[in-house]
């Protein structure tokens, strides 16, 4: 929800900061790596039970996560490789953070509760996959109540007030499942309407090529049969 509605506004606000960082010579990839290191620190802090420190590290993790794209654009190095690295780093960061929460719950609560952040992580991966696959097929799957920015905010709230961490995680899981359902329905409706997408054009082209090859083979076989009949 926030990613879709406020992303452009945030990007415009970060553009001057991206230009300033570009002049220091730091690259977008380095900033992404710094974010991964901070996420690792947050995960370890949470796992060891230092939830307030984990909250602080989580907030700091969001800074390089927001700035790497601005630096790439300011330096003119935005590329498919950078976008791929950033996406992989986002998934790794999510896994580290929720892994840290699972570690903490395994140490302090009933053993089965540790599966709660694991379930959230699995649902988050599903939400991400839905968007990636939909865009590959030419559809739009953005939006939903619990995108990545919302997960960060809700998790930060749970870490800041550790007494309600488990209820906050249950809420996050419910909203994440709802978001996965939202995206599924959104893409399903688009796919149910006959329209020309890049994926459909490629599929139609492949079918046409297979038909042309089959026709050529049949014509060659017919030519050979006629030639054999004349020799007799």
The count of domains in the chain is 2
Mapping DSSP onto H, E and C, the string for 16-83 reads HHHHHHHHHCCCHHHHHHHHHHHHHHHHHHHHCCCHHHHHHHHHHHHHHHHHHHHHHHHHCCCCHHHH
| Nearest alpha carbon to residue 42 among 152, 161, 125 | 152
pLDDT reported for residue 81? 85
CB 75 within 8 A of CB 27: yes
CB 61 within 8 A of CB 38: yes
Q: Considering only residues 225 and 167, tell me which one the structure prediction assigns the higher pLDDT.
A: 167
Q: What is the pLDDT of residues 42-77, one digit of tens each?
A: 999 999 999 999 999 999 998 888 887 778 777 777
Token couple for 45: 């802090």
Burial category of 223 from C-beta neighbours within 10 Å (exposed 0-12, middle 13-18, buried 19 and up): exposed
What is the DSSP annotation of 106-156?
HHHS-GGGGHHHHHHHHHHHHHHHHHHHHHHTT------SS-HHHHHHHHH
pLDDT reported for residue 55? 96
Same domain for 157 and 140: yes
Same domain for 216 and 113: no
What is the maximal distance between C-alpha atoms in the chain?
94
pLDDT reported for residue 96? 96
pLDDT reported for residue 230? 73
pLDDT reported for residue 52? 95
CA dihedral (134, 139, 145, 147) positive or negative = positive
Q: What is the pLDDT of residues 108-159, one digit of tens each?
A: 887 789 999 999 999 999 999 999 999 888 888 888 889 888 999 999 999 9
Same domain for 205 and 121: no
Same domain for 150 and 221: no
- The pTM of the full predicted model, rounded to 2 decimals, is 0.76
Same domain for 58 and 108: yes
Judged by DSSP in three states, 184 sits in helix
Same domain for 141 and 131: yes
Same domain for 141 and 61: yes
Alpha-carbon span 166 to 180, nearest angstrom? 21
Same domain for 174 and 82: yes
Same domain for 131 and 68: yes
Is residue 65 flagged as an active site residue?
A: no
Same domain for 104 and 202: no
> DSSP state, 193?
S
Check which CATH number belongs to the domain holding 34 and give it.
Answer: 1.20.120.1760
pLDDT reported for residue 66? 82
Instruction: Place 5 in a pLDDT band, splitting at 50, 70 and 90.
Output: low
Q: What is the pLDDT of residues 162-209, one digit of tens each?
A: 999 999 999 999 999 999 999 999 999 998 886 656 666 777 777 788
Q: Considering only residues 18 and 3, tell me which one the structure prediction assigns the higher pLDDT.
A: 18
Residue 232 has pLDDT above 70, yes or no: no
Count of CB atoms within 10 A of residue 74's CB?
Answer: 21
Alpha-carbon span 93 to 60, nearest angstrom? 12
Angle at which helix 115-136 crosses helix 80-108, to 10 degrees, equals 160
Given the residues 65, 90, 94, 196, the one annotated as active site: 90
Residue 85's domain spans which residues? 2-195
CA dihedral (195, 201, 207, 213) positive or negative = positive
Same domain for 173 and 110: yes
Q: Considering only residues 189 and 219, tell me which one the structure prediction assigns the higher pLDDT.
A: 189
pLDDT reported for residue 47? 95
Same domain for 124 and 99: yes
């Amino acid at each position: 929800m926030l990613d879709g509605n406020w992303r452009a506004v945030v990007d415009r606000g970060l553009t001057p900061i991206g230009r300033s960082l570009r002049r220091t010579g730091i690259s977008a990839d380095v900033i992404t790596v710094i974010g991964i290191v901070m996420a690792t620190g947050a995960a370890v802090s949470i796992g060891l039970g230092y939830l307030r420190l984990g909250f602080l590290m989580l907030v700091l993790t969001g800074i390089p996560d927001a700035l790497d794209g601005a630096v790439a654009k300011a330096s003119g190095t935005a590329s498919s490789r950078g976008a791929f690295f950033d996406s992989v780093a986002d998934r790794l960061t999510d896994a580290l953070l929720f892994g840290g929460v699972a570690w903490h719950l395994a140490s302090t609560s009933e053993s089965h509760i540790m599966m709660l952040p694991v379930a959230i992580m699995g649902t988050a991966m599903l939400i991400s996959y839905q968007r990636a696959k939909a865009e590959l097929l030419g559809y739009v799957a953005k939006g939903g109540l619990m995108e990545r920015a919302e997960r960060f905010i809700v998790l930060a709230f749970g870490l800041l007030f550790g007494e309600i961490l488990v209820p906050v995680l249950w809420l996050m899981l419910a909203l994440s499942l709802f978001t996965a359902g939202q995206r599924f329905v959104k893409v399903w409706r688009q796919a149910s309407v006959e329209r020309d997408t890049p994926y459909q054009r490629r599929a139609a082209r492949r079918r046409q090529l297979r038909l042309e090859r089959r026709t050529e083979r049949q014509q060659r076989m017919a030519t050979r049969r006629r030639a054999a009949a004349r020799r007799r």
